[in-house]
Structure 1
Amino acid sequence: MATAVRTRGYLDGLDAETFDLHAYLAKFDPRLLAEPEGRRTLTRLDPLLFGLVYLRHHLRDAEGRLTFGDAHLDWCRAARAWVRPPTLPAEHRDAYIAPRNMGKSTWWFLILPMWAAAHGHVRFAAAFAASATQAETHLSSFKKEIDTNELLRRDFQDLCSPAKRPSGSNVADTQSMFIAQSGFVFAARGIDSSNLGMKVGERRPDLILCDDIEPDESSYSLDLAAKRRTTLVDAILPLNVYARVVISGTVTMPGSIVHQLVKHARGVETAPWIQEEGFAAHYTPPIVKLASGYERSVWPAKWPLDYLKSIEHTRSFAKNYANDPMGADGALWTVDDFRYPGPEGPDPITHMMLSIDPAVTAKRGSDFTGLAVVSWSAETRRCTVHEAIAVKIPPGEQLRERVLALLDEWPRIGLILLEVNQGQDVWQAVFHHMPVRVKTVSQSEPKFVRAEGVLGHYQRGRVLHARRLRELEEQQCAFPKAPHDDLVDAVGSAVRRFLPTKSRQVSKAEAASYL
């Protein structure tokens, strides 16, 4: 047992760049690994070693190499918490978002539950996916191993044998459920199946796995995402409030469940349900930024840094690697439309304004208030967006204080441009006696038409972003499909004031299509 404990310490703090597989394996006595009891003892507290001993064929690449990324080591460290039974409701609820093809399903639906089942850390695993077929495929992979893996069958006979009735027939060995002689249960369901009350005898799931529970964007919508979240919160989680819960996935659409979890993990924005249900979200970026200023790949052996940098500008990278729905297919902006200051530095500032697209309320379902700091240079005749912030603050003293703080931060601001299509009296009460002039504007053109004109300035190189403005660029690339477009409106109002464009006539039918 001492060897296993030392190895756990060896893994702590390591990442893909510092992890040495040979040094890791050298910690173990090969004589113990040659015997069933030794293998069981050494792997009981070490899911990584379990994977290498029993499921190594799932960890090799096409060339037969064994390599690991940051996320794989993180997941093994996280799964070790399953050794101790939960003592509080919602104590172990985690979401893991990583690049596509990082091996999430292999680890979370095969290696880690197999390790936990073999050693009795978990007694009932319930696996959910976007469809029943997808979930049953995970169970099929699990069953294939217990049916054909000779080493696993030799060391864990009770796990690899189905439970029998007195008549000799299997208790459950179907596409959607397996019950082992050891008592372990693995059930697989589509997330929209009837799940309430799932139990075997008096036992309920003590491990709930949700893998890619959202379909591709082409067959998904914000309404469906809201319904799926309701299913998760109201039907899946109540199966057992003490269960360990793992959500793993990749973003498919702006505003989706996984997208909300990415934002939470990055500290950008927290959807109320995430905190209410006690989830911790863990985001793995494809390119790791080091404190020294250097960068490295999250999985160097699979994705060399040069390769990731060569595709970093593409929508595919944003969506499938960085879990940034800028990769979603919006109707106007693409990542190629964003320009940043060159080696000569930022444009000299002639005028600067704070543009506000306000929300009338700060209720859970209401829009955000968009705040954008935008300047114009007479020398280059182009705009620069310096800041773009979306906040959910009630229209009152808090919003006033936030605006005053921005004026202190950007002393060159000489104008507040305020859209007042709604709640004009409210905004007059909030923005009275400002230290700079307040100009109100009412929009009459359809939102899509206004955005088209602003995009034209972007594509002609007349608008720069002072730096990567992730939230703004995400909204622009997803527009008009994004769940929120407050920053698109705030920036657009400022750009249109600095760089006015001739309004085009819009038919009634076209105007109706933008609503």
Structure 2
Amino acid sequence: MTPATFTRGYLDGLDAETFDLDAYLAQFDPRLLGTPEGRQVLTRLDPLLFALVYVRHHLRDSEGQITFGDAHLDWCRAARGWVRPVAAPSEQRDAYIAPRNMGKSTWWFLILPLWAAAHGHVKFAAAFASSAGQAETHLGSFKREIDTNELLRADFADLCSPARRPSGTNVADTQSMFVSKAGFVFAARGIDSSNLGMKVGEQRPDLLLCDDIEPDESSYSADQASKRRTTLIDSILPLNVYARVVISGTVTMPGSIVHQLTKHARGVETADWISEEGFRAHYTPPIVQRDDGTERSVWPAKWPLAYLKSIEHTRSFAKNMSNDPMGADGDLWTPDDFRYPGDEGPDPITHMMLSIDPAVTAKKGSDYTGLAVVSWSARHRRCTVHAAWGLKVQPGPLLRDRVLAILDEFPEIGLILIEINQGGDTWKAILHGMPVKVKTVQQTENKFTRAEGVLNHYQRGRVIHARRLVDLEQQMCAFPKAPNDDMVDATGSAIRRFIPNKERPVSKASTASYL
């Protein structure tokens, strides 16, 4: 690979498997790297080279080796966009979700702001974390670097020296704010601090960094997540609508801010606020599938694929590596309650239904409409859950079209079961003229009691999932404390229809009577 070819490949997006550190460094003239002017010119547009030249000690592992994962290269490419001025409000708002211990804080709170500050791409960085102490720790790391890094101090002396008043005192060099002689400002706050109107003189933040702004699941709730999202939208983002905004983190619980961003990045579901505020979300999985279908690690030098595969089945892997939380505080289901088809393959289908738990409206404050496809096997005397969705869609033609699409995808469906505790006439009108039977059900037991009965069927082996149904299983494991329970209700209604409280003798006649 020639240096020119390598440069184009790097800009186009090399990953951890194809990146060659020696080839990358070979494209730079060592004589230029040996002078302050040369280093300044070469690193101005290249945060990766800046990291290798000035803060290489932060990149080494315990054995002194420097390696990269996919996300590190992605983040460097993304930060290059800071070189260009922001032309429109909300133009540069991004969220980066990656496995825990990927080095998010090191890159987003230290290396990349340091590169941007050194070259004047950013004038005022405001950094937010879950607590003030956490944010101040990040600023402390930044200040230690500019205080002790001899090469950095030699090449960027004004950045590394505090601004002083005519009296000789520092303008700001505290735990929560630093103002450099070069005019760069770095402020650190807890996300729930009072932030409205933050500025130094006439200068407002042009880089807003939000790293791990949510606490652990044990001290967090859906209500707190909602309030924190409000703080982000109403207090942090208005500090400067032209600022570059970066949210980085790992999911802490189902329904959290970062979990919603993860779903958006994976194309599963987009919360209204994400699209309204103009965020782009970027998700880095721990195990990457190559084009030929084989797998590799996202950071082979740190996490060999064999290691990742050995822990792939654990809840810790799902939550901390895949950003796929199962909900630690639910009262009923646990991940061990879910079973899947064995070597014998899927159960033969005797009957299949589409169950709908509707929301009356699709307003922001309303619930989702839950849909679940569930079948019954007379041979195995158990249900299989094939699919489940939670949709925020107006009751009307769009929902009808989705139902018809599901019927096309699962031609074995012979019944639509819909709960009509609310808006019964509305739903009958929407689902008129369906190609299969439509039956309604009114629930008389409360949600928790119904869910307990369904869990009993799961634990007795009467229910399996056709494959891992991520969103449904997350919702079940967090029930009843998850923000939504629409898929739990829709799935449970179908299972209760196929397996009544008092089981009937299984025969062609009796299984038909379930419908």
Q: Distance in 1 between matches of 2:93 and 2:140?
A: 25
Secondary structure of the equivalent of 1:477?
helix
Which residue of the partner structure matches residue 473 of structure 2? Answer: 473
Unaligned runs of 5+ in 2: 504-515
Q: Distance in 1 between matches of 2:346 and 2:485?
A: 26
Contact 1:389 1:487 in 2 (8 A): yes
Q: Distance in 1 between matches of 2:4 and 2:85?
A: 20
Which residue of the partner structure matches residue 258 of structure 1? Answer: 258
Q: Distance in 2 between matches of 1:429 and 1:462?
A: 34
Secondary structure of the equivalent of 2:74?
helix
Contact 2:356 2:416 in 1 (8 A): yes
Secondary structure of the equivalent of 2:208?
strand
Deviations 1:155-204 (A, max 9, x none): 11011111111111111111111111111111111111111111111111
Amino acid at match of 2:104: K
- Percent identity between matched residues is 80
Q: Distance in 2 between matches of 1:106 and 1:408?
A: 49
Contact 1:319 1:328 in 2 (8 A): no
Which residue of the partner structure matches residue 131 of structure 2? Answer: 131
Q: State how 1:224-263 maps to structure 2 within 5 Å.
A: 224-263=224-263
Secondary structure of the equivalent of 2:135?
helix
Q: Distance in 2 between matches of 1:137 and 1:399?
A: 49
| Alpha-carbon shift at residue 327 of structure 1 (Å) | 4.9
Q: Distance in 2 between matches of 1:85 and 1:76?
A: 17
Contact 2:97 2:249 in 1 (8 A): yes
Change in 2 beyond 3 A, CA 1:460/1:482? same
Q: Distance in 2 between matches of 1:126 and 1:145?
A: 18
Amino acid at match of 2:238: P
Contact 2:54 2:151 in 1 (8 A): yes
Q: State how 1:169-318 maps to structure 2 within 5 Å.
A: 169-318=169-318
Secondary structure of the equivalent of 2:353?
strand
Contact 2:254 2:327 in 1 (8 A): no
Q: Distance in 2 between matches of 1:19 and 1:5?
A: 12
Amino acid at match of 1:494: A
Which residue of the partner structure matches residue 73 of structure 1? Answer: 73
Contact 1:313 1:335 in 2 (8 A): no
Which residue of the partner structure matches residue 498 of structure 2? Answer: 498
Contact 1:212 1:250 in 2 (8 A): yes
| Alpha-carbon shift at residue 11 of structure 1 (Å) | 4.4
| Alpha-carbon shift at residue 335 of structure 1 (Å) | 2.1
Amino acid at match of 1:426: T
Secondary structure of the equivalent of 1:224?
helix
Q: Distance in 2 between matches of 1:217 and 1:408?
A: 40
Which residue of the partner structure matches residue 370 of structure 2? Answer: 370
Q: Distance in 1 between matches of 2:393 and 2:118?
A: 50
Which residue of the partner structure matches residue 328 of structure 2? Answer: 328
Amino acid at match of 1:266: R
Q: Distance in 2 between matches of 1:55 and 1:62?
A: 16
Secondary structure of the equivalent of 2:260?
helix
Q: State how 1:476-487 maps to structure 2 within 5 Å.
A: 476-487=476-487
Matched, 1:23 2:23: yes
Amino acid at match of 1:112: L
| Alpha-carbon shift at residue 228 of structure 1 (Å) | 1.3
Contact 2:6 2:23 in 1 (8 A): no
Secondary structure of the equivalent of 1:435?
coil
Which residue of the partner structure matches residue 13 of structure 2? Answer: 13
Secondary structure of the equivalent of 1:12?
helix
Q: What is the root-mean-square deviation of aligned Cα atoms in Å?
A: 1.7
Unaligned runs of 5+ in 1: 504-515
Contact 2:253 2:326 in 1 (8 A): no
Which residue of the partner structure matches residue 152 of structure 2? Answer: 152
Which residue of the partner structure matches residue 43 of structure 1? Answer: 43
Contact 1:374 1:491 in 2 (8 A): yes
Contact 2:6 2:24 in 1 (8 A): no
Amino acid at match of 1:236: I
Matched, 1:459 2:495: no
| Alpha-carbon shift at residue 8 of structure 1 (Å) | 6.5
Deviations 1:409-429 (A, max 9, x none): 222111111112222222222
Q: State how 1:405-416 maps to structure 2 within 5 Å.
A: 405-416=405-416
Secondary structure of the equivalent of 2:23?
helix
Q: Distance in 2 between matches of 1:327 and 1:304?
A: 27
**TM-score normalized with structure 1 length:** 0.94
Contact 1:127 1:188 in 2 (8 A): yes
Q: State how 1:357-396 maps to structure 2 within 5 Å.
A: 357-396=357-396
Between stretches 42-51 and 459-468, larger displacement belongs to 459-468
Contact 1:318 1:327 in 2 (8 A): no
Contact 1:317 1:327 in 2 (8 A): no
Which residue of the partner structure matches residue 432 of structure 2? Answer: 432
